[in-house]
């Protein structure tokens, strides 16, 4: 009995349509805690900065490279995560990521030099963060269709709640046992990622394979006709041959016996199918969306990194400056949930809603340069936090929409998309720091981020026109539209009908003469 239960837990969930619930709610809870122990830890790592500078006698910039390398590895190795997920499945990849994250953090607790932490947290944990986060958000998008936006937005608030819980908790723990034991405790706590990965049961929607459980009547008649015709052709040759006909009605599309093998085939992946489908780069709509992700990443880091130094430079005390960051985190939670509720409405063009949010985020980043006093910065922090929540919580799940690439190619598209984000993730902080060093004003750091957001808005506005082929020449669009339609119409005609029609059109030889 225990073996059967284990086999049942390891088997993929087979549906005839996207469930929009079911085991997907368990996956959503798993994604919430994956956000807690990945991005939540990354955003809360600043509580260790002063301790690391004192312990290693290093500057703030050298300690900051720990997180910079971690974020770069997280995004740069996204294609590798996609390849492994396609080859071995999402569950083992996430469980492996949890082990790497925990091993890197535990090893960093015993580091004696700062470059040891570059390897432990930057490389090992960064690779584990990628293996844990990307497959989880991908499989969550497969479990939901109509509720995808709101479920993903609510589940992604895990990192915001982690900022509230971990920052004061780790600070209190450091005062009792020191930063090394605190980091060791965090590393052991991140082993929960293995449990989250174990709950990611694969999903198979058999309708996408063209084998629905109850096919249409015309499809049943066509399948029956083809089976009977094939039996008539091969009945004489197959007598006493000892070979079972493969044209049994069990193999007909839509027969219940054919559903399970089809589901197993889709769960394992089609033989010869590429592990990472680079054909998404040939789609102009996805290329524009990738450029959007490249530039939009510039605006994600500036508010959280520079809001406290900006407040201190304007004369605020440390407590009130820290309150600005807390207000931004609260607004980000409401922004993520609000964006999910809006994008969950039908019918609605989600790409255009995202475009409005990106434009508003660019304007909010510009307003930081004119803000004066506590309440001016507070208003900018709340507004920008809400806009960051709307964009950060939806830009990856939006890949599953038909206006971008669709759910079938989301796994490969997410790997390529996040890979290009690593470029701006590595170049963004030095660019903002260069502006600060030249002007000696922290408000200048928001200029590069706002400019990147405006460029991202232009790229996002071109996604849907390029997807629909509006940027192509009319003749090319017409040929592309007629090609598949004509090919499909030819495939729908039974073979016997084609032979009969061809036979009618051949010229017949006169009686008594042999054709040449």
Check whether 86 has a pLDDT greater than 80: yes
SS (H, E, C) 324-371: HHHHHHHHHHHHHHHHHHHHCCCCCCHHHHHHHHHHHHHHHHHHCCCC
User: For residue 193, what pLDDT is reported?
Assistant: 94
> What is the number of other CB atoms lying within 10 angstroms of the CB of residue 217?
8
User: For residue 188, what pLDDT is reported?
Assistant: 94
**What does the alpha-carbon distance between residue 192 and residue 399 come to, in Å, rounded to a whole number?**
28
Cα angle value 460/464/470 (rounded, 5°): 120
Sign of CA dihedral 91, 93, 94, 95: positive
Cis (ω within 30 of 0) for the bond into 334? no
**What does the alpha-carbon distance between residue 418 and residue 414 come to, in Å, rounded to a whole number?**
6
Mean pLDDT of 223-234: 47
User: For residue 10, what pLDDT is reported?
Assistant: 52
Check whether 84 has a pLDDT greater than 80: yes
9 vs 182, more confident: 182
Contact 414, 137 (CB under 8 A): yes
Q: Mind listing the domains of the chain with CATH numbers?
A: 14-207 (1.20.1250.20), 277-471 (1.20.1250.20)
The fraction of the chain above a pLDDT of 90, given in percent, is: 15
Contact 295, 456 (CB under 8 A): yes
User: For residue 492, what pLDDT is reported?
Assistant: 52
Paired residues of 13 in beta bridges: 203
Read off the tokens for 191.
Answer: 């082993």
Instruction: Please state which of the ranges 238-242, 307-311, 316-320, 503-507 shows the lowest mean pLDDT.
Output: 238-242
Check whether 495 has a pLDDT greater than 80: no
User: For residue 424, what pLDDT is reported?
Assistant: 77
Instruction: State the DSSP H helix or E strand holding residue 15, giving kind and residue range, or none if neither.
Output: strand 13-15
Check whether 79 has a pLDDT greater than 90: no
Q: Residues 253-293: pLDDT tens digits?
A: 444 444 444 444 444 445 455 656 677 778 888 888 888 88
Cα angle value 286/288/293 (rounded, 5°): 90
**What does the alpha-carbon distance between residue 397 and residue 149 come to, in Å, rounded to a whole number?**
7
Rounded to 5 degrees, φ, ψ at 204 are -130, 125
**What does the alpha-carbon distance between residue 77 and residue 98 come to, in Å, rounded to a whole number?**
15
Mean pLDDT of 159-166: 79
Distance between the two ends of the chain, CA-based, in angstroms?
Answer: 73
Instruction: State the DSSP H helix or E strand holding residue 382, giving kind and residue range, or none if neither.
Output: helix 373-392
Contact 207, 236 (CB under 8 A): no
Confidence of residue 231 (pLDDT cuts 50, 70, 90): very low
Instruction: State the DSSP H helix or E strand holding residue 204, giving kind and residue range, or none if neither.
Output: strand 203-205
Check whether 81 has a pLDDT greater than 60: yes
């Amino acid at each position: 009995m225990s073996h059967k239960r284990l086999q049942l837990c390891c088997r993929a969930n087979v549906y005839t349509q996207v469930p929009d619930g079911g085991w997907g709610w368990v996956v959503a809870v798993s994604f919430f805690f994956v956000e807690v122990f990945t991005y939540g830890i990354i955003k809360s790592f600043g509580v260790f900065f002063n301790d690391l500078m004192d312990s290693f006698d290093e500057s703030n910039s050298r300690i900051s490279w720990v997180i910079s390398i971690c974020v770069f590895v997280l995004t740069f190795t996204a294609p590798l995560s996609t390849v492994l997920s396609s080859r071995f499945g999402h569950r083992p990849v996430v469980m492996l990521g949890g082990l790497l994250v925990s091993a890197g953090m535990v090893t960093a607790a015993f580091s004696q030099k700062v470059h040891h932490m570059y390897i432990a947290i930057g490389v090992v944990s960064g690779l584990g963060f990628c293996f844990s986060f990307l497959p989880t958000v991908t499989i969550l998008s497969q479990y939901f269709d109509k509720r995808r936006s709101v479920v993903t937005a609510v589940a992604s608030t895990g990192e915001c709640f982690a900022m509230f819980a971990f920052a004061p908790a780790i600070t209190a723990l450091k005062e009792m046992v020191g930063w090394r034991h605190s980091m060791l405790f965090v590393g052991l706590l991140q082993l929960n990622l293995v449990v989250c990965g174990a709950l990611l049961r694969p999903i198979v929607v058999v309708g996408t394979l063209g084998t629905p459980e109850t096919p249409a009547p015309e499809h049943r008649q066509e399948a029956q006709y083809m089976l009977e015709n094939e039996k008539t052709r091969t009945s004489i040759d197959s007598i006493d041959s000892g070979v079972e006909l493969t044209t049994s009605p069990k193999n007909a599309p839509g027969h219940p016996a054919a559903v399970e093998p089809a589901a197993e085939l889709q769960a394992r992946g089609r033989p010869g199918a590429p592990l990472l489908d680079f054909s998404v780069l040939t789609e102009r709509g996805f290329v524009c969306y990738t450029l959007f992700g490249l530039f939009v990443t510039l605006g994600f880091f500036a508010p959280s990194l520079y809001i406290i130094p900006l407040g201190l430079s304007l004369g605020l005390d440390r407590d009130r400056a820290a309150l600005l960051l807390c207000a931004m985190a609260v607004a980000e939670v409401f922004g993520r949930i609000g964006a999910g509720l809006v994008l969950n409405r039908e019918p609605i063009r989600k790409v255009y809603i995202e475009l409005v949010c990106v434009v508003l985020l660019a304007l909010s980043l510009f307003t930081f340069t004119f803000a004066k006093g506590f309440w001016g910065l507070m208003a900018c922090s709340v507004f920008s936090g809400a806009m960051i929540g709307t964009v950060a919580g939806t830009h990856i799940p939006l890949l599953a929409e038909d206006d971008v690439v669709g759910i079938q190619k989301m796994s490969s598209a997410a790997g390529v998309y996040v890979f290009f984000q690593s470029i701006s993730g590595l170049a963004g902080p030095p660019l903002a720091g260069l502006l600060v060093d030249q002007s000696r004003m922290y408000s200048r750091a928001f200029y590069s981020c706002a400019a990147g957001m405006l460029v991202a808005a232009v790229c996002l506005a071109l996604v849907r026109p390029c997807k629909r082929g509006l940027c192509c020449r009319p003749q090319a669009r017409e040929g592309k539209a007629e090609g598949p339609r004509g090919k499909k119409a030819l495939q729908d005609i039974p073979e016997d009908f084609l032979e009969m029609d061809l036979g009618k059109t051949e010229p017949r030889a006169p009686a008594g003469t042999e054709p040449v």
